[in-house]
Amino acid sequence: MNIVTQFGSEFWSIFLELAPYLILGLSIAGLLDLFVKRSFVERHLGKNNFSSTLKAALVGIPLPLCSCGVIPTGISFKNHGASDGATISFLISTPQTGIDSLLVTYSMMNGPWALFRPLVALVSGVLGGWLGTYISSSEPQTQPQSQSIDNQNNEPSEEVTQQPTFKRFYEYAFVSFLTDISRPLITGIALATCITLFIPDSIFTEYLSSPNLNMLIILVASIPLYVCATGSIPIGAALLVKGLSPGAVLVFLMAGPATNAATITVLWNALGKKTTLLYIGVISFFALLFGWIMNNYLPADWFQLLPMAHGEHHHQLLPNWLQYGSAALLILLLLNVEFKKLRRTFMTTQNKTEGTYKIEGMTCNHCTANVDKALRSVDGVEHVEMSLEHGTAQVVGSATAEQIKSSVEKAGYTFVG
C-alpha cells in the first residue's frame, strides 16, 4: 500500500506542475488553428530551395502536431505544391516540438532546455529538407496531386466555418487536440513516476556510464515507440535526474516524439522508402550529433536538474491557486475527451448509423479530422461520426459508397469498404 501511496503522490506532483503550462499551450494551439490558414502556409512552400525548407521548419516548430498527426498534414502540403525539401523539413521539425511542449519543457526542466530543443528542430529540419531536395527528387509519387482536394484537406467545411469563434477555439484546443495527446500524456507522466520511484539513482553512473553508449541505447529504444512531444518531457526530466547524460536525454526528446512504428509505416506507403529512410536517418544523425555536442562542448550546469523529491520539482514560480485550478480544469477536460472516446466506441459497436466504412491510414485525431472534412463535403452526407480506435467512419445520408470511396482516397487514405 505504501508503494501505491508513493506512486499517487509523485504522479500528482508531476501533474500539478505540468497542468498550467499545458492549459496555456493548448490555448495557444487553439488560437493558431483560428488565425493561421494552411492555404496561406502552402503558398510559401512550393519552391525547391533553401528558403522553402527554412520556412517549413519555422512553420512546423510551434505547431502542436505529434508524429502521427504531422504525416497527413505533410502529405497535404506536398499534394498542394510544396516541394520535397519543404515537406521533409516540415516532417522532421514539427513533431520534435510544439508551443505546448516548449512551455512544459521550461516548467519541468529549465530555460536552456526550452531554448535548445527548438534550435535542434530548426537545424535538423532545414538540413534534412535540403538533403531531401536531392535524395528524394527521383522518388515515384504515390499520392494523387489533385487540386480538387484543396477545400477538403485545408479549409474548414461550411459547417465548421459557421461555428462561433469560441466554439471553434474550444473544439480544437480542448477536444480535438487534447484527444490526440491525452493518453500518451498520462502514460508519459506514469512512466516518469515509475522512473523516479523505482530506478536507482546510481544505475547510469555505475552500469551505463558511457555517454555515447547511453545515446545509442536510447536512440534504438525510442525509434519504434510512440510518445508525444509533451508526454516525453516528464520522462526525460526523470531520466536526467537519475543520472542519464544530457545528450542521451536530448536523443530521447528528439527521436521519441518524431518517430514510431505507425508513423514509419504510413510514411513508407505515402511518400516512399527513400523519403522514409531519409526521415529516420536525419533524425537519428542529428539526435546523436547534438547529443554529443551537448555532452562535450556545452556547460553541463546548463542542462542539469535538481533531484525531484516528493512534491518538489524544478520550478515553483506559480502560485498554488493557479496550479490547483489548472489541474482541476485539466482533469475535467481529460474526462470529457475520454467520455467522447467511449461514446464513439459505443456508437460503433451498436451500428446506429446508415453506413459504417473501414478506412486505413488514420493514425491520430488529425487524420480523423481530415477524413471528416472530406466526407462532409460530399453531396448527400448529412452526418459523420469518426472512430480512430476502430478506423471507421459512420456516415448518415444519401451518398453512395463510390462517392465515399472517392472522397476518402482523394484525402490520401485507403478505403477498405
Answer yes or no: are the C-beta atoms of 56 and 93 closer than 8 Å: yes
Give pLDDT, residue 38. Answer: 60
pLDDT attached to residue 333: 94
**Cβ–Cβ < 8 Å for 341, 389:** yes
Question: Is residue 321 in a domain?
Answer: yes
> Do 322 and 174 belong to one domain?
yes
Q: What is the mean pLDDT of residues 239-253?
A: 89
Residue with cell 472517392: 406
Residues 234 and 91 in one domain: yes
Whether 340 maps to a domain, the answer reads no
| Among 76-90, 146-160, 196-210, 303-317, the range of highest mean pLDDT | 76-90
Domain that holds residue 408: 351-415
Q: What percent of the chain has pLDDT over 90?
A: 15
Q: Residues 265, 355: one domain?
A: no
What is the rounded distance in angstroms from the CA atom of residue 110 to the CA atom of residue 90? 26
What are residue 173's phi and psi, to 5 degrees?
Answer: -70, -45
Determine, yes or no, domain membership for 345.
no
| Residue 148, SS3 per DSSP | helix
How much of the chain is helix, strand and coil, in % rounded to 5? 70, 5, 25
pLDDT for 154-205, tens place per residue? Answer: 344 434 444 578 888 888 788 877 877 788 778 878 887 887 788 776 666 6
Which of 293, 328, 363 terminates a domain? The answer is 328
Is 337 inside a domain boundary? no
Q: Are residues 290 and 366 in the same domain?
A: no
Same domain, 375 and 260: no
Residue 210 and residue 215: Cα distance in Å, rounded?
9
How would you classify the pairing of strands 392-397 and 414-415?
unpaired
* Residue 333 counted as domain residue: no
Q: Do 319 and 363 fall into the same domain?
A: no
Q: Give the whole-angstrom CA distance, residue 321 versus residue 378.
A: 48
Residue 289 belongs to a domain: yes
Q: Quick one: how far is CA 321 from the chain centroid?
A: 30
Domain ends where: 264, 294, 328? Answer: 328
Q: Name which of 266, 287, 286 is nearest 276 in CA terms.
A: 266
Calculate the average pLDDT of the chain.
78
Whole-number Å distance between alpha carbons of 362 and 95:
17
Q: Residues 297, 359: one domain?
A: no
Q: What digits encode the pLDDT tens for the residues 318-337?
A: 688 988 999 999 999 999 98
Of 119-128, 161-170, 230-239, 373-382, least confident by mean pLDDT is 161-170
Indicate whether 51 and 166 sit together in one domain. Answer: yes
pLDDT value of position 203? 65
User: Would residue 83 count as lying in a domain?
Assistant: yes
Q: Last residue of a domain, which of 328, 361, 389?
A: 328
User: What percent of the chain has pLDDT above 70?
Assistant: 79
My answer on whether 309 and 174 are in the same domain is: yes
What does the pLDDT read at residue 209?
A: 67
Q: Report angle CA 267, 271, 275 to the nearest 5 degrees.
A: 85
- Measured CA to CA, the distance from residue 330 to residue 137 in angstroms comes to 45
Which pLDDT score, from 0 to 100, does residue 246 have? 93
Tell me if 260 is assigned to some domain.
yes
51 and 164 both lie in a single domain? yes
Residue 248 has pLDDT above 90, yes or no: yes
What cell numbers appear for 14 in the block? 508531476
Burial (CB count within 10 angstroms: exposed 0-12, middle 13-18, buried 19+), residue 349: exposed
What is the spatial distance between Cα 38 and Cα 373, in angstroms, rounded to a whole number?
A: 14
> How many domains are contained in the chain?
2
Indicate the Cα dihedral angle 170, 172, 177, 179, nearest 10°.
70
Looking at residue 136, what is its pLDDT?
55
| Alpha helical stretches, state H, 223-272 | 232-241, 246-258, 261-271
Give the pLDDT confidence score for residue 292 in this predicted structure.
95
**Whole-model pTM?**
0.66
Closest of 253, 277, 269, 288 to residue 88, by C-alpha: 277
| DSSP per-residue string spanning 160-206 | HHTS-HHHHHHHIIIIIHHHHHHHHHHHHHHHHHHHHHHS-TTHHHH
Compute the residue count for the chain: 417
Question: For the domain that residue 405 is a member of, what is the CATH number?
Answer: 3.30.70.100
Tell whether the model's pLDDT for residue 297 goes beyond 90. Answer: yes
Q: How many of the other CB atoms lie within 10 Å of CB of 186?
A: 15
Cell of 211: 555517454
Q: Could you tell me if 244 and 308 lie in one domain? A: yes
Beta-carbon contacts of residue 199 (< 8 Å; ≥ 6 apart): 242
pLDDT tens sequence across 333-367: 999 988 887 876 665 555 444 678 888 888 777 78
Same domain for 238 and 313?
Answer: yes
